[in-house]
């Protein structure tokens, strides 16, 4: 076993899941690495599978553990727990970024800490666990990953209305109203929007999306997360999140 394989084996051991080395490597292979190395298989099919398993596990858990919540509130909580920002937080907590196989371009632009890539890789890991270990182990794995997120009750409101939540937090901190700067790029039929949110006149976070609204929502949620962390004394650096929070089980916003 070489050093890289040993490190990945350590990751699997730390996560408490006996995923085989080949499937684990596939789960950690981003498409940018695959394309730069002759079209190798990458993790997007596993991500597709993991997204479904994640949604089911979270939905069943919320239904069973919250008998007094109506359908609307359950849906809001599920959306907050399976959003790209939430999954990226999970990924950072387990040090997943350092294990992802990225192309050179993504490595140079900080791909190992991009929320979109981290979230996708978490889902791919869930898919790999399902295939190698079965549905029960995969469900336990999902719940173990997201359980810490349940301990932050403020998360539910922020994920559903990030711009309002950021405005309220900025007001409590005496930082004034947030403002947004939005740029777009790409052809008319496939534009991408990049939003930067300023709080107290200083850029705090940025976000990308397929519309101005989605980009601003992504930036607002990332800024809210960073300011909450700083307020709690944990500290954080500004990051770019690539998509707005997913409204249901898909992590690309469709509002």
The reply, when asked if residue 151 is annotated as ligand binding, is: no
The reply, when asked if residue 184 is annotated as ligand binding, is: no
The reply, when asked if residue 47 is annotated as ligand binding, is: yes
Q: Residues with catalytic annotation?
A: 51, 123
Residues 192, 91: Cα–Cα separation, whole Å: 25
User: Are the beta carbons of 30 and 121 closer than 8 angstroms?
Assistant: yes
Q: Write out the binding residues.
A: 47, 120, 123
Q: Write out the binding residues for Mg(2+).
A: 47, 120, 123
């Amino acid at each position: 076993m070489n050093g890289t394989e040993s490190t990945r084996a350590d990751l699997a051991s730390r996560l408490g899941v006996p995923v085989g080395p080949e499937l684990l490597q596939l789960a950690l292979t981003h498409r940018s690495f695959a394309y730069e190395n002759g079209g190798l298989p990458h993790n997007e099919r596993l991500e597709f599978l993991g997204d479904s398993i994640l949604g089911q596990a979270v939905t069943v858990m919320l239904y069973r553990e919250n008998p007094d919540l109506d359908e609307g509130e359950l849906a809001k909580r599920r959306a907050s727990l399976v959003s790209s920002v939430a999954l990226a937080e999970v990924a950072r907590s387990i040090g997943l970024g350092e294990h992802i196989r990225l192309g050179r371009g993504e490595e140079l632009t900080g791909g190992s800490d991009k929320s979109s890539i981290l979230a996708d890789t978490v889902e791919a890991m869930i898919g790999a666990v399902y295939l190698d270990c079965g549905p029960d182990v995969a469900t336990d794995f999902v719940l173990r990953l997201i359980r810490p997120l349940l301990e932050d009750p403020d998360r539910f409101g922020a994920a559903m209305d990030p711009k309002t939540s950021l405005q309220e937090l900025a007001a409590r901190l005496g930082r004034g109203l947030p403002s947004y700067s939005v740029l777009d790029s790409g052809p008319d039929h496939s534009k991408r929007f990049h939003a930067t949110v300023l709080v107290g006149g200083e850029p705090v976070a940025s976000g990308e999306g397929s519309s101005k609204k989605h980009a601003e929502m992504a930036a607002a949620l990332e800024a809210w997360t960073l300011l909450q962390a700083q307020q709690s004394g944990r500290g954080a650096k500004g990051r770019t999140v690539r998509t707005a929070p997913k409204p249901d089980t898909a992590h690309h916003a469709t509002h």
